[in-house]
Structure 1
């Protein structure tokens, strides 16, 4: 069992990003990513994104570096890869499972309960409608980070967070930890049951 990283070459947020994968296990991948001090939110279904500046931490964590093509071959052989065409369905399944675990209805466009993983970025307003938002909270007592195109989106995010906190507390958590991406055109909210 080995964890592999490729050469960062994807620009975003003012730096270059690479991918980190396991050849056998997501559990192994999460453990090594934690040892390399990668943020848990940088996990994306089958890999971690890592910034160029993190290379020394990855080296100290014992990660094997390979070229981009070799990394793709290893991920394909691992049976952990989620192909690009299947990623929307994988996100929808994850969202439905996480919503069901909380008792959240209806299911938002993208939902993660817990500290590992991230939802998609907030799309442009023409793709989501007014009232869309992306909400992140990394600890029950932490203030939320909200991205929205308008005041309606900010208000909807705060309303959703209040509801998610209630549902999280019902299942014994101190409050909601996770991320939500919701379209403005889709209904938001939870059942009161």
Structure 2
């Protein structure tokens, strides 16, 4: 059992990012990522995204750095890989499961209850929003292109808060991305 990383080369948020995978299990991957200090939000269905600054912590946690092609081959062989074309369906399943946990209807485009993982980026569509909340008492971070998106996010947060309080006794923690359905 080994956890592998490639060299960061994907730019986002002003940093370069790499991928971290396991050759055997997501449990092992989560354990090593936590040991290296990666935030749970950096998990993305079958891998963690990691910034260049985490290199020393990953090495200390026993992560082996390999080339991009080898990393992909290892992930495919592990049986844990979610292919690019299958990722939207995997996110939809995750969203439906998390919505069912809360009793939320209709299911938003992308929803995560809890701290493990992140939703898709904010789409370039009017009325869309993305919100994140890290603690039950904390303020939500809302991204929206317009007032409609902001109002929709605030309405969604109120609904998620009420459902979470009713089901768990604590406020909502997680992320959601939603907005008008794109025209075909």
Q: TM-score range by the shorter chain?
A: over 0.9
**Aligned residue in 2 for 1:139:** 135
**Aligned residue in 1 for 2:56:** 56
**Aligned residue in 1 for 2:103:** 103
SS of 1:86's equivalent? helix
Structure 1: any 5+ residue segments left out of the alignment? Answer: 187-193
How far apart, CA to CA, are the structure 2 residues paired with 1:174 and 1:8?
Answer: 37
Residues 153 and 184 in structure 1, CA contact (< 8 A), matched pair in contact too: no
SS of 1:120's equivalent? coil
SS of 2:143's equivalent? strand
**Aligned residue in 1 for 2:68:** 68
Q: Which runs of 4+ in 1 moved over 6 A?
A: none
Question: For each residue in 1:125-174, what CA deviation from the matched residue of structure 2 results, as whole angstroms up to 9, or x when unmatched?
Answer: 2xxxx321001011111110100011121111111111101111122241
Following superposition of structure 1 onto structure 2, how do residues 159-178 of structure 1 map, counting pairs within 5 Å?
A: 159-178=155-174
How far apart, CA to CA, are the structure 2 residues paired with 1:73 and 1:64?
Answer: 14
How far apart, CA to CA, are the structure 1 residues paired with 2:58 and 2:46?
Answer: 18
Q: State TM-score, norm by structure 2.
A: 0.95
Following superposition of structure 1 onto structure 2, how do residues 4-153 of structure 1 map, counting pairs within 5 Å?
A: 4-125=4-125, 130-153=126-149
Structure 2: any 5+ residue segments left out of the alignment? Answer: none
SS of 2:142's equivalent? strand
Tell me the CA shift for residue 185 of structure 1.
4.7
Q: Indicate the RMSD between aligned Cα atoms, in angstroms.
A: 1.2
How far apart, CA to CA, are the structure 2 residues paired with 1:28 and 1:147?
Answer: 33
SS of 2:11's equivalent? strand
SS of 2:49's equivalent? strand
Aligned length: 182
Tell me the CA shift for residue 50 of structure 1.
0.4
